[in-house]
Amino acid sequence: MHQSVLRAVLPLGNNWLRLGLVLIGLGLFAPGALAQSADSFLGRPIYSEPASGLQLPPQCQVDPAWRTNVRGSDLEIWIAACGTGGRVWLLRRQIVEVVNARAARLRFEVIDERIYPDETPGESLSVQCTGPTDDPGYVVRGARWREDGKDLRLKAARGALRLDPRTQRLGDVELGAIDCTRFPEREAMMKRLQQAR
């Protein structure tokens, strides 16, 4: 019956209409559209267990030095390496269960995301920055560093992000008074501790 209805609606001589329907159908299921939605982690939860640590999405990595708390809120900013390039996530933190006086199960929800395929997390994409009043929550991209003893200080960057507290979204800001310092020895030690878990 289905074929007879199709033939009645689409006479054999109307190949252009059939071709158009086929192309529309292919467009709805194009791999690019699926990949775009699969690439975003917006709205996805990430759990943290006291015994096993962060339960990150497959192929994603977040080093301890790539995370910062936003003072006076339940928000955090993370830099993640998922496949190639880097991502900046703004997350809302929620306590799921208090296990004991020093440990809790946490749930993080990605509420904003920026994807930078040409950036290297922890290197050219860094969250180790503070603003004019020493407040954290700044991210630089396209960062280049200069040695300052054992530390690395920001030499230049292509741009910066900052949380807009009103909209709870990441927004572009001027580099102006942003100060960024990386501590390679501490980064390496924190990474070793995370891998030992």
- The string of DSSP codes covering 26-76 is HHHT-HHHHHHHHH--TT-EEEEETTTEEEPPTTEE--GGGEEE-TTSSEE
- The residues spanned by each domain of the chain are 2-33, 40-196
- Residue with the bigger pLDDT between 108 and 132: it is 108
- Least confident stretch, 13-27, 61-75, 112-126, 133-147: 13-27
Tell me: pLDDT of 3 over 60.
no
Tell me: pLDDT of 9 over 80.
no
Distance separating alpha carbons of residues 186 and 5, to the nearest angstrom: 70
* 110, 170 Cβ separation under 8 angstroms: no
pLDDT of residue 192: 79
- Residue with the bigger pLDDT between 2 and 134: it is 134
Q: For residue 49, what are its two tokens?
A: 């267990």
